[in-house]
Amino acid sequence: MTGRFEGRTAIVTGASRGIGLGIAQRVVDEGGKAVITARKEDELAEAIKELGEGNAVYSAGKADDPEHQEATLELAIKTFGSADFLVNNAGINPHAGNVIELGADAARKTMEVNTVAPLLWTQAAYRHWMKDHGGVVVNIASVAGLRPPPMIGWYGVTKRALIALTEQLGMELGPHIRVNAVAPAVVKTKFASLLYEGKEEEVSAAYPLKRLGVPEDIASVVAFLLSDESSWMTGQTLTIDGGVTLAGQL
């Protein structure tokens, strides 16, 4: 790898597995350090073994807990000396079905984790490091935020809001802080299993590239957005979807 992240530290939320862990691995592979977060300490400890002792540390807690956010920023700076990158990957989708049937508590919780938490993480990163040193934020949105999806409509609403937040912060935080997002289609992770398990061949047939995504597909694009190679980009959302939205499908 290029070593383009040497001397830089990334905080990646929701990174005990799947897309988040793939992103943390890419940062480490390219010479950087990673602070990974998630709720379950045992899964985080296993993820650290994959990333390599000395390359990463973990911080266990709920993504929408402000005290956890503050503690994670402090851990990053204390351990590795900086908090250059923030990847807001943590997300939930407790409701599968039509939005008209969605309960208020589930609606509020999904918005808190998927949209409000990324704002609060960015505010914490700004206060602790980026205001004085600059930095890069990448939000993990979804193609569900680009047009109304079947079955996961409220998740899509929260991701559409995250895309709007990306644009707003991109406008506000330049020139020294860049904020971009990626919008993946179905990626083969435990989180997305409802959308493809037992029917992967049928689902992937709708994709021009005839396969579903894997975490490495997303990690490579996030690495580009974190790097100086994208230094003239902010407030943008890159679609990573195997071509499925070309035909208006999700």
pLDDT in tens, 192-241: 776 778 888 988 999 999 999 999 999 999 999 999 999 999 999 999 99
How many CB atoms are closer than 10 A to CB 218?
Answer: 25
Average pLDDT over residues 71-85: 98
**Alpha-carbon gap, residue 20 to 37, rounded angstroms:** 9
pLDDT at 191: 82
Q: Please write the tens of the pLDDT for every residue from 153-198.
A: 999 999 999 999 999 999 999 999 999 999 999 999 888 776 778 8
CA dihedral for 220, 238, 213, 60, sign (positive or negative): positive
Assess whether 155 carries a catalytic annotation: yes
Among residues 126, 155, 196, 207, which one is catalytic?
Answer: 155
Report d(CA 30, CA 85) in Å as an integer. 14
Higher-scoring residue by pLDDT: 8, 1: 8
When pLDDT is averaged across residues 104-109 and rounded to a whole number, the result is: 97
Structure tokens at 55: 């390359």
**Domains identified in the chain and CATH numbers:** 9-183+214-245 (3.40.50.720)
Task: For residue 205, give both structure tokens.
Answer: 């047939």
For the chain, percent of residues with pLDDT exceeding 70: 99
Give percent of the chain above pLDDT 90: 89
**Other Cβ atoms within 10 Å of 55 Cβ, number:** 18
pLDDT of residue 192: 72
How many Cβ atoms are within 10 Å of 52's Cβ, its own excluded? 12
Q: What is the mean pLDDT of the chain?
A: 96
E-only strand ranges, the chain? 9-12, 33-38, 56-60, 85-88, 135-140, 177-184, 237-240
Question: Which pLDDT score, from 0 to 100, does residue 1 have?
Answer: 55
The Cα 119–Cα 140 span in angstroms is 13
Evaluate whether 230 touches 180 at the Cβ level (below 8 Å): yes
With beta carbons less than 8 A apart as the criterion, state whether 212 and 156 touch: no
